[in-house]
A and B are shown apart, each in its own frame.
Chain A
């Protein structure tokens, strides 16, 4: 691939926790090789599947996250081929503790960076524990505070596997730092990411330093948050909108809007300009704001609220996103090809640059590049 990391060779032996990292790496020009066992990567077994395609090429997770990469199948007994491949690698991504790794230390080259994404890290009493997206959130304090107070706690956007992707993106940051230190000072080093800490990193708003400071036990607050008012999800005629008012100017615009539409003059009283007062009077503020939001649709409120300079967004679903006018105008969507030749829409580059950085291609078939590298 052409791109800033052209010439960097990366071996990926991970599953869901490393896949987002190597997807980005490949998009930025690295030569990423998925080292797959004969039955294929664990990613290939993740639903949803494409109906018209047979396994192991039918997983949409594989077809998305492995874009731009290569697939080499190595028999676990074939240590010679493994050694030859690993010796060419600048970086090896792994998701196993050293004692469980299929890659012994002695075949790792002296200039190879090992990046490990582990459930609870390399050290500490839980180093051998298993994890999952849900378990990572459980260990972060975030799961405990997400959801309605009368219902069990619930993970943020569970199907998206955010904790895995946060771990993966962080692993790439660490890997790029390690590559930089190797180039600038010749120091070759290893990178360690704990999935639990990837989730903890997202926790400051509800985390331990906050608790130490205010000693307020944090409960689940449903779909609103007591950091400001209005703050969270508000019902409208066709679903919900999200409103986040913290800044003074946002409140002034919000109060004005409510007053104009509902005739409520009390809301514009100066006393409510103080965030702390609004939080104290949150039920009243919420009631007044809902009198406004219930009158409009998601899209109407989004556009009118934004016109007034208020941070308001629709609570979207995938169908609305694919039809979103901004993304269409920005030419965001891209496509990829599946095993049977049909093309399918995928998200485009994660960021834009004024020089050519991002390029990608369809995910590889199982063992598609074995011959190229092994024989």
Chain B
């Protein structure tokens, strides 16, 4: 939403910081003089918060809470991902926010919903362990292995966030058209589970409990990840229909047994088929084989590492990695917004903010506080501003990022 022009204000706490503030940067560990600004250096800050403003308010203090409510009275939308109980304890439940802003679009994303009578209401939830809870980790891995789990990323976080964006936009429409605000309760548990419909139905009808099946498809064969020439070079291929098969077979020739021209055999004897495909793919450079397959209309891609993505002309030509100004780091790199609108394409005003970077300006313009009132809030530790605002540094890539990301200046020319 910030990318498309909304003024997104992130309320941050020093006593209970956002987890991304705790992570810091790898290179900072050896630089004790920069320790005070560690919370502004995690790459996640820009990944998650580019173009947002950061306001430091301690919601557990009466004054901090009052200032937040003054800001909220001027806002269209309130979005919170605290646990439902924590949010209610802080006094930011729907009824309290509605009292200061009657037509607020209020969207909360607690792990298990905001109804205190429900069994898991007090439970703590994080995206990474919502995935196992809704069965996604059991679905991940090769069929003979223990669950591999979704260790590296947290899809439920992103799916909930997408649902929150849908709910927020819908809430704004409703408010504009009827004058009524709305309370949206997004339980990550329920939202993520909504992606499992067909499996729930199949279990209800037949008692089937589906589990992981590697990279295979339920709808045809072959589909998988196969080794290519070299070390840790893999190709992903989906050739699940007859047309795909004919193309793949034309390329592989006698390397694959002709019994597999029968689609049923391809599904029934996938182990053998995969073995034959693997002993064929391993002779190729991965990019060469991907090109040959895609030229014939077969879905295939190198299993890209980050290093590969950094050299990926397609990803770069689409401007997927963006660089924008950062108060603390001079500039920072982050991923673009995948939603592309052709007439109002959006923009990035800045990379992730320093913690409390915008406290003063937001309290002035939204809450109408004077400098003296803001100073007082800071004195009693109900609010805070950016720590050591003049302390700046650069990321290790600052001198050479222009080599990789198109349209970025060479730092030596700046």
Contact = CB atoms under 8 A, between A and B. Distances in A.
A207 B154 CA distance: 13
B152 interface: yes
A5 B189 contact: no
Given A157-B150, A194-B338, A321-B200, A315 B141 contact: no
A130 B120 contact: no
B204 A216 contact: no
B358 interface: no
B304 A209 contact: no
A347 B27 contact: no
B35 interface: no
B397 A160 contact: no
Interface in A7-50: 20, 24, 28, 45-48, 50
Chain A, interface SS category: mixed
Interface stretch (A69-77, A131-139, A263-271): A131-139
Given A151-B145, A157-B155, A318-B199, A212 B401 contact: yes
B198 interface: yes
A206 interface: yes
Interface stretch (B74-82, B311-319, B366-374): B311-319
Interface stretch (A79-87, A102-110, A163-171): A163-171
Contacts of A1: none
B209 A156 contact: no
Interface stretch (B63-71, B248-256, B292-300): B292-300
A223 B128 CA distance: 11
A311 B129 contact: yes
B318 A242 contact: no
B153 A151 contact: no
B153 A202 contact: yes
A244 B252 CA distance: 45
A148 interface: yes
B246 interface: no
B148 A322 contact: no
B203 to A, nearest CB: 5
Given A121-B318, A202-B153, A318-B209, A156 B136 contact: yes
Contacts of A330: 113, 115, 118, 187, 190
A357 B320 contact: no
B317 A125 contact: yes
Contact of A311 (B126, B174, B298, B314): B126
Interface stretch (A57-65, A282-290, A365-373): A57-65
Interface string B168-195: 0110111010001011111101110111
B411 to A, nearest CB: 14
B129 A313 contact: yes
A123 B317 contact: yes
Interface in B126-148: 126, 128-142, 145-148
Interface residues of B, number: 149
A327 B190 contact: yes
Contact of A204 (B47, B129, B174, B201): B47
B317 A318 contact: no
Interface string B40-72: 000110111000000000000000000000000
Contacts of A139: 301-302, 304, 315
A193 B129 contact: no
B166 A176 contact: yes
A4 B173 contact: yes
Given A48-B202, A306-B123, A132 B238 contact: yes
Size bracket of the A interface: 35 or more
A257 interface: no
Nearest to B211: A317
Given A141-B305, A247-B19, A315 B151 contact: no
B339 A214 contact: no
Interface stretch (B214-222, B257-265, B379-387): B214-222
A311 B342 CA distance: 42
A130 B225 contact: no
Specify which of B180, B183, B318 lies most central, judged by the most chain A CB atoms within 10 Å of its CB. B318
A244 B126 contact: yes
B339 A346 contact: no
Interface string B87-129: 0000000100000000000000000110101111011111011
B142 A151 contact: yes
B210 interface: yes
A180 B172 contact: yes
B14 interface: no
Contacts of A341: none
Contact of B140 (A51, A146, A212): A146
Interface string A212-239: 1111111001111101000111010000
B155 A166 contact: yes
A369 B401 CA distance: 55
A39 B120 CA distance: 46
B54 to A, nearest CB: 18
Nearest to B25: A213
Contact of A156 (B23, B150, B225): B150
Nearest to A181: B344
Contact of A209 (B46, B140, B396): B46
Contacts of B310: 208, 211-212
A314 B335 CA distance: 32
Interface string B153-167: 111001100110111
A17 to B, nearest CB: 12
B335 A355 contact: no
Nearest to B227: A152
Given A46-B219, A50-B205, A160 B196 contact: yes
Contacts of A309: 124
B34 interface: no
B78 to A, nearest CB: 14
A316 B155 contact: no
B195 A162 contact: yes
B25 A214 contact: yes
Given A193-B340, A194-B318, A318-B199, A242 B128 contact: yes
A205 B215 contact: no
Interface string B380-414: 00000000000000011100010000000000000
A177 B148 CA distance: 37
A60 B314 contact: no
B245 interface: no
B284 interface: no
Interface string B13-40: 0000001001101110100000000000
Given A159-B199, A177-B341, A311-B126, 11 more contacts: A51-B205, A64-B198, A132-B299, A183-B176, A205-B44, A206-B306, A207-B335, A213-B27, A221-B152, A222-B148, A313-B133
15 contacts: A46-B198, A64-B198, A129-B294, A130-B299, A131-B299, A135-B300, A154-B141, A173-B339, A188-B343, A204-B44, A212-B333, A216-B26, A311-B126, A321-B196, A347-B196
Closest 5 CB pairs of A and B: A64-B197, A214-B26, A138-B236, A223-B149, A189-B343
